[in-house]
Homo-oligomer: A and B are copies of this chain.
Amino acid sequence: MGRVMSSPASYTRKPPGQRREEILAAAAGIALDDGLERITVRAVAERIGVRPGLISHYFPAVQDLMVAAFERAASSERTEVLLGEGTPTERMARFVAFFASEASVPLSRLWLNARHLSRFTPALAAAIAEQEAAYLERITEMVASGLSRGEFRTPDAGAAAVRILMAVDATTTYVNDPPGPERFGYSSFVADVAAWTLGLPEGALG
């Protein structure tokens, strides 16, 4: 078969670092919008208007791109959730309120997605462990500062942080459930667990 020699169309050429960044951002966007398994060479290429081969050029194995996209999406969202001013109690209340609100849906979906997929890709499991540790660290800091100010009362800041994080993960479990009135009893779980483990009166966090 005679190979047909064809001429590539014109294109704009970007510095490798920038292009790589662009690809990562596109993949992270797909992860949040449509799910990690929708990160395909073709989908990413289409999102930024290049040909599929270019994605493979920067990420020879698409799985590596998927893991990097999760890290990107998870860490950028994490800073948003945990930033802010106020007393530890106020910050904890905001943290709790976030996961009871609709605003947490994309992030929760991403985590549920990743936790399942980590069953098949160990690299993703490792990335999850890192992100989880980062969360835990921040929450532990928050609890510790509340302890030193006398706002919270709990024997072990780290253990309390684990409980709070687990309560958060419990609610993310249900993120894909169809909405309904019976969901009502579920929404206060994080606030209740946090108040319980921090020695606050029930309802003190929302």
B-contact 0/1 string along A142-177, CB 8 Å cutoff: 000000000000000011001100110111111011
Shortest CB-to-CB span from A102 to chain B, Å, is 15
B35 engages A177 (CB within 8 Å): no
**A135 CB–B CB distance under 8 Å:** no
B189 engages A163 (CB within 8 Å): yes
Q: Which of B128, B163, B177, B185 contacts A118 (CB 8 A)?
A: B177
Interface residues on A, range: 35 or more
Q: Contacts A112-B115, A119-B109, A193-B193: A129 and B162 contacting too (C-beta < 8 A)?
A: no
B-contact 0/1 string along A171-190, CB 8 Å cutoff: 11110111000000110010
User: Which chain B residue shows the least CB distance to A159?
Assistant: B185
Shortest CB-to-CB span from A206 to chain B, Å, is 16
User: Which chain B residue shows the least CB distance to A126?
Assistant: B178
B-contact 0/1 string along A116-128, CB 8 Å cutoff: 1111101001101
CA distance A129 to B173 in the complex (A): 12
CA distance A189 to B193 in the complex (A): 11
**A113 CB–B CB distance under 8 Å:** yes
Q: Which of B117, B119, B169, B186 contacts A173 (CB 8 A)?
A: B169
Chain B neighbourhood of A122, CB < 8 A: 178
Shortest CB-to-CB span from A122 to chain B, Å, is 8
**A196 CB–B CB distance under 8 Å:** yes
Q: Which of B117, B167, B196 contacts A170 (CB 8 A)?
A: B167
Q: Contacts A163-B189, A170-B166: A177 and B129 contacting too (C-beta < 8 A)?
A: yes
A125 engages B166 (CB within 8 Å): no
Q: Contacts A109-B119, A112-B116, A167-B170: A158 and B177 contacting too (C-beta < 8 A)?
A: no
- Closest A-B pairs by Cβ, 8 of them: A170-B170, A116-B116, A166-B170, A169-B173, A119-B176, A162-B185, A118-B176, A112-B116
